[in-house]
């Protein structure tokens, strides 16, 4: 049985001390230190970005010449950094893809998702909602990411977890699973990291550019 969640745990306090908007910032910070997901000058898309903890870490990671785009269904408090842009968007809306391309044109060097559904307390329902969001994130990453780009997404482990991991493996050269130290003890969440997006196969009769 996991440790009970204490709102003001060490990571919560540390986030406050360091001026971070959320304790979750330490999760993406650990992932970036373990894998070469984000480099200086990169273009990164952060899905489910509110309140902006991930964005703070990503902005530093890409540097002033990079670009970080954050979207969420709720408004994100503006950033002083010029390399961070945010927008209110619903990833499940019919016009999401068109609006995303208009606001934050691809290709991306990394797509990162911390999206999570509002929990109902019914495990099967919550797992299904989580998978719907993470599959949308994977769709964006594979259609808008440049070859060799990276993918990081949170999901709750459940019945279709292995099926989803296989989908990521089909698109990326390597796949890792990470449970960051800042993850709450009782949480079922895990981060799937896709390393180096495979180039799309060339259709018969088409020349390689």
The pLDDT value given to residue 158: 75
Position 189 scores a pLDDT of 85
Looking at 1-5, 46-50, 51-55, 105-109, which range is the least confident one?
Answer: 1-5
pLDDT (tens digit, 9 = 90+) per residue, 67-82? 999 999 999 999 988 9
- As annotated, the active-site residues are 154
Give the mean pLDDT of 43-64.
95
Q: Is the pLDDT of residue 38 over 70?
A: yes
Which pTM value belongs to this model? Answer: 0.86
DSSP 79-144: -S-TTEEEEE--TTSTTHHHHHHHHSPSPEEEEEE---PPP-S-HHHHHHHHHHHHHHHHHHHHHH
Report the pLDDT averaged over residues 140-155. 96
pLDDT at 209: 44
Domains of the chain: 10-197 (3.40.50.150)
């Amino acid at each position: 049985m996991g440790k009970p969640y204490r709102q003001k745990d060490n990571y919560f306090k540390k986030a406050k001390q360091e001026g971070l908007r959320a304790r979750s910032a330490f999760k993406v910070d650990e992932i970036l230190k373990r894998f070469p997901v984000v480099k200086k000058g990169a273009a990164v898309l952060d899905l489910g970005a509110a309140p902006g903890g991930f964005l703070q870490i990503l902005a530093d990671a890409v540097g002033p010449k990079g670009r970080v785009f954050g979207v969420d269904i709720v408004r994100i408090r503006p950033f002083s950094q010029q390399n961070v842009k945010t927008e209110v968007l619903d990833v499940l809306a019919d016009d999401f893809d068109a609006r995303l391309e208009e606001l934050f044109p691809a290709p991306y060097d990394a797509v990162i998702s911390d999206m999570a559904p509002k929990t109902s307390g019914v495990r099967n329902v919550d797992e299904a909602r989580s998978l719907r969001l993470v599959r949308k994130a994977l769709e964006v990453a594979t259609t808008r990411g440049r070859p060799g780009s990276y993918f990081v997404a949170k999901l709750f482990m459940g019945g279709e977890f292995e099926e989803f991991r296989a989908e990521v493996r089909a698109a990326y050269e390597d796949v890792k699973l990470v449970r960051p130290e800042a993850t709450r003890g009782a949480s079922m969440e895990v981060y799937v990291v896709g390393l180096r997006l495979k180039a799309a196969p060339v259709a018969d009769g088409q020349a390689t550019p």
